Amino acid sequence: MNTPNPGIMFDIGQGEIMATPEILEGGRIEPDAYNSRERFEAEREMFGKVWLNIAEAGEIPNPDDWIVRDVTCRSVSAIIVRGKDMNIRAFHNICSHRGMKLVWDEKGRGGKFSCPYHAWQYNTDGELTHIPDAECFPHVDKQESGLTPIHCDTWEGFIFINLDQQPAQTLVEFLGPMTEALKNAPFQEYPTSVRCRSVIKANWKLGVEAQSESYHAAALHARTVAKMGVTSRFVRQTTIWQT
């Protein structure tokens, strides 16, 4: 029996753990990994605590550009916005008044967000800036009634959010040795960026696994991707669902 590779350790803020030794040694994954309800619920919890790569900085290049991203398994909709100071911030896409979904489009540009319900307005820093008929709300403290922030950070132009109230790790800590391995990688020099969106009624790991190996490209994508070689960068956003 082979000894598991001691280098395959990772940490998602709960201490170092190793991939299941049986899988590493036997090369087989039990069906439970894909169809266990208990495991799936545990994974949904995990997605509320780890850093999630949710967008690229190039999608919001200018001040006041914004996009909306949903984290379906956490029932979260997030506004990702570049402020006038060029910093990228993230907020829950929920009005602080009555909890209305604030932004309904997928992307846009503009220095304010206006709630469709009663027209409370927020700026790109998430501050509550305007309340129609404000005299009717003497108890509302604007300073305390802004949008709820989400932890947000970037690495090499990739935007990550963390839905935990107090992330156990910084983004760089979470990414671990990958940051060193990909240091100085010329991400910005790839000439093409394509975003595809799919809704797949399958366990999320099937989607990730398909995107983590290029073994299939020569056969399955013989007429498209295989011909494009390494000069294109593909970004696939997949909304995951479990059967």
Binding site residues, ligand FES, CB under 6 A: 95, 97-98, 100, 115, 117-118, 120
Of 117 and 234, nearer to ligand FES (C-beta) is 117
Contacts of 85 (CB under 8 A, 6+ apart): 63
Q: Which of 12, 88, 16, 18 is nearest to 50 (CA)?
A: 12
- In angstroms, give the least distance from the CB of 77 to ligand FES: 14
- In angstroms, give the least distance from the CB of 51 to ligand FES: 29
Of 123 and 242, nearer to ligand FES (C-beta) is 123
**Please, are residues 55 and 90 in contact by the beta-carbon 8 Å criterion?**
no
Contacts of 177 (CB under 8 A, 6+ apart): none
- In angstroms, give the least distance from the CB of 135 to ligand FES: 16
Q: 49-75 burial, b for 16+ CB within 10 Å, e for fewer?
A: bbbbebbbbebbeeebbbbbbebebee
- In angstroms, give the least distance from the CB of 151 to ligand FES: 24
Of 98 and 216, nearer to ligand FES (C-beta) is 98
Of 53 and 145, nearer to ligand FES (C-beta) is 145
- In angstroms, give the least distance from the CB of 92 to ligand FES: 13
- In angstroms, give the least distance from the CB of 120 to ligand FES: 4
**Please, are residues 50 and 12 in contact by the beta-carbon 8 Å criterion?**
yes
Of 33 and 131, nearer to ligand FES (C-beta) is 131
Query: For the chain, what's the residue count?
Result: 243
Residue 67, CA distances (Å) to 52, 56, 60, 82, 121 in order: 15, 10, 7, 9, 17
Of 39 and 101, nearer to ligand FES (C-beta) is 101
- In angstroms, give the least distance from the CB of 54 to ligand FES: 24
Of 39 and 97, nearer to ligand FES (C-beta) is 97
Residue 212, CA distances (Å) to 19, 80, 110, 157, 161 in order: 16, 26, 36, 20, 21
